[in-house]
Structure 1
Amino acid sequence: MQVRDGEVVKTEVEQASSRILEIMALKGKVTDAGAMTVRCTDYESDEEVYRARHPWSVYQVPVTAMAEAMDRLRDRLPRDGWEIVKDGVDDSPAKTPQIVAESKGKEYSVDLRLLDESKYGDASSLIEVTVVSACYRSK
């Protein structure tokens, strides 16, 4: 496991998020509190192991445009060095469309979900994005 500077990892995760937003090419509103450092729960040891996590979403865009953005992601993520490891629906009762991809070196992963609330008469549809880093030991 790599020893990394947590601030550098957070910056890299935010840069990956920015690139994903560019690929989406949506003109909506974006939530963004910035990346955060969280304990990595994949390791059950006394050592301090972390990952950077950056959850955000795009909203106030027509659902049809969001579906087109998901198609762009399917096409462009592999060309941008990501491997799509899941492309289907999640295991929620709503069967939400989901794409999960990992960067080529598996340093980062992204989980993208299209939450279509329009079928329930709600205009608050969105694409939910979570970019996370691989686990690392802090410097």
Structure 2
Amino acid sequence: MKEKLSTLVLAAPLAIITLTGCSMSDQNSDETKFAGTSTTKDASDALLKVSSGIYDLIGVKGKASDGSTGVQECPGKDPKKYFQIFHPWSLRPASASDVEKAMKNLRAELPKHGWKIVEYGPDTSKNKNINLTADNDEKKAGVNVVQMLKDNPPMLSLTVVSGCYKVPDGQKVQYF
């Protein structure tokens, strides 16, 4: 179990880099989209609601991990004033067919709820895991979902990441 968790933790930065690249940006900029002014706690609470909404779209029962949110620097911004929130978590449905069904549900349902799928297909790993990356401009968030059918047990690995927030004047970014 610790090995799987560490794999997810190590995979999270890659997913976050993917999500904070051009797909979370204005068309003519490499900058991460501005999500507004917020404390890290309020931004974390907001991203947990986004993750919960994604969980609802999965449409299959399973065991979700208790992944907590984290705070990271915004690329190219003052780390004392700007931050992003990320939330890595996983879902282990009862069967491999439920993992496939969950991914199909997400691919169909995310666009109906304001998400734009910007990438879908197998990765370059030996397992050729299916990856889905989607952005939601209204929520100023992105999600990367990896369908891991060959894991034991099979699962979905998700990382949800916010756009770039600025802390209110007079406050500091709280990293956790």
TM-score range, shorter chain: 0.7 to 0.9
Contact 2:119 2:134 in 1 (8 A): yes
Task: Name the counterpart of 2:96.
Answer: 63
Contact 1:61 1:126 in 2 (8 A): no
Contact 1:43 1:49 in 2 (8 A): no
Change beyond 3 A, Cα 1:36–1:56: same
Task: Name the counterpart of 1:128.
Answer: 157
Point out the more displaced range, 65-74 or 83-92: 83-92
Task: Name the counterpart of 1:26.
Answer: 60
Which structure's residues are more often strand, by fraction? 1
Change beyond 3 A, Cα 1:10–1:93: same
Point out the more displaced range, 74-83 or 91-100: 91-100
Cα distance in 2 for partners of 1:138, 1:91 equals 38
Cα distance in 2 for partners of 1:46, 1:12 equals 20
Letter aligned with residue 67 of structure 1: E
Task: Name the counterpart of 1:96.
Answer: 129
Task: Name the counterpart of 2:167.
Answer: 138
SS at match of 1:32: coil
Letter aligned with residue 17 of structure 1: S
2:138 counterpart of 1:105: yes
Cα distance in 1 for partners of 2:70, 2:105 equals 27
| Deviation, structure 1 residue 126 | 0.8
Contact 1:39 1:48 in 2 (8 A): no
Change beyond 3 A, Cα 1:33–1:106: closer
User: Unaligned regions of 5+ residues in structure 2, if any?
Assistant: 1-33, 169-176
Contact 1:4 1:136 in 2 (8 A): yes
Cα distance in 1 for partners of 2:83, 2:124 equals 27
| Deviation, structure 1 residue 107 | 0.6
Cα distance in 1 for partners of 2:141, 2:119 equals 15
| Deviation, structure 1 residue 3 | 2.5
| Deviation, structure 1 residue 47 | 4.7
Task: Name the counterpart of 2:20.
Answer: none
Letter aligned with residue 127 of structure 1: L
